[in-house]
Amino acid sequence: MICDALLPLLRAPAMAERLTLADWDKVIRQARNANLSARIAWDLEQHGLLDAVPPGPRQHLIAARAVGQRQRIATLAEVDRVRRAIEQSGNRLVLLKGAAYLAAGLPASHGRVFGDIDLLVPHGRLADAESMLMCHGWVSSHLDAYDQRYYRQWMHELPPLRHMNRGSALDVHHNILPLSARHPPDANLLLEAAVPAEHTPGVWVLAPADMVLHSACHLFHEGELDNGMRDLVDLDGLLRHFSAQPGFWATLEQRAALLHLERPLRYALRMCALMLETPIPDTTLAFGGAWPSDLRERLLEQLYLRGLRPNDPTAGDRWTPLALHMLYLRGHWLRMPPHLLVAHLGRKAWRQWTGRSDEDDSDPDALTPEQQIQK
């Protein structure tokens, strides 16, 4: 049986005064699994309610808040190091996701924890950026030859980089969806519209509407939803903040159409309104037509109502494992066309079954999955 311990508190922090110790036990467990403990602590502190939390759960929240504050300081310091490296390659540093929220000083950054720094560079300048980052100590964490080909030929990013000394992780993107996806957007349109980060000189972030669209397509093209609720909270925070800008909703719809991201935006608006009660104009909420427009949208709503909850037994029901599995398959289906997907998953299954890796292959020019299918 689904237990909504976290969602009501995210919608209305004032309800913290009515929670019992048993309620707090579920809140802490779900918040920890969703990477939202620091966010809950920040919300309660802003409402003057943190000191009213019983001592046990309050210590968990205070500890999470301290970790989040420490991460903010460390991330900003690391962003500056990345900026210097990227500028030496002739690129400007355009941040994505959590690091971008932090650099821009957005409310969505408060209590936001993340494991890596995401950046966007033009595809044509990717080699220059990678070379300069390697000169500054970041090296690929995926040494398997097949994984290298997988990222470089089909994905929208380089294999993840990790600093040799500090251990910081970078995801260097050249698009926001894989090249093998059905309708990847034109990344040049995103880069051309990027704006300076208000609180971090020398750093750029996506324009407000594009930032929302990236968050939406990241969440609703993703097959693994371990941070699904955290990402939905990001969307809620972005929409609430940017909605104060004149013309934001119209611009959001226009950019979604231009970038071929109408469906992820439609799903994002629906789930934000349904789960977090995000205030969205009726005209924008009906973007693409009245919900649901078909059986697929009815099914997806039920899947995401389960899949976006924290990965905790108290937050799901008997259908949650099936929902997560179906969303996992959907994410892979969106990521690659069928012939590549079959070859890729087949190869992964074979390697897992045999315990082999590409380092075991003597031929460095082994066939790619697409070539195997054609052969």
Strand order in the sheet with 161-163: 138-140, 161-163, 169-173, 117-120, 93-96, 203-205, 195-196
Q: Return the H-helix or E-strand segment holding 309.
A: none
Output the pLDDT for position 361: 47
Q: Which residues lie below 8 Å from residue 239, measured CB to CB, with a gap of 6+?
A: 212, 272, 278, 280
| In a domain? residue 371 | no
φ/ψ (deg, to 5) at 181: -70, 165
d(CA 27, CA 160): 33
Amino acid at 333: W
Q: Can you give the CATH number for the domain in which 210 is found?
A: 3.30.460.40
Output the pLDDT for position 288: 84
| In a domain? residue 372 | no
Output the pLDDT for position 15: 93
| In a domain? residue 365 | no
**Neighbour-count burial for 133-155, b at 16+ CB within 10 Å, e otherwise:** beeeebebeeeebbbeebbeebb
Sign of the four-CA dihedral 234, 286, 335, 330? positive
Question: Given the structure tokens 């969106």, which residue do they identify?
Answer: 334
Report how many domains make up the chain. 1
Domain range for 289? 7-336
Output the pLDDT for position 311: 86
In DSSP terms, 173 is beta-bridged to: 120, 157
| In a domain? residue 122 | yes
Grouped pLDDT means (10 residues each) for the chain, 375 residues: 83 93 94 95 95 95 95 94 94 95 96 91 92 93 72 83 92 90 88 95 97 96 89 97 97 96 95 96 90 90 94 86 91 73 66 60 39 34
| In a domain? residue 50 | yes
Q: Please, what is the angle between helix 262-276 and helix 228-242, to 10°?
A: 90
Give the CA count within 13 Å in the CB-facing half-sphere of 364.
2
| In a domain? residue 276 | yes
| In a domain? residue 67 | yes
d(CA 208, CA 242): 7
| In a domain? residue 13 | yes
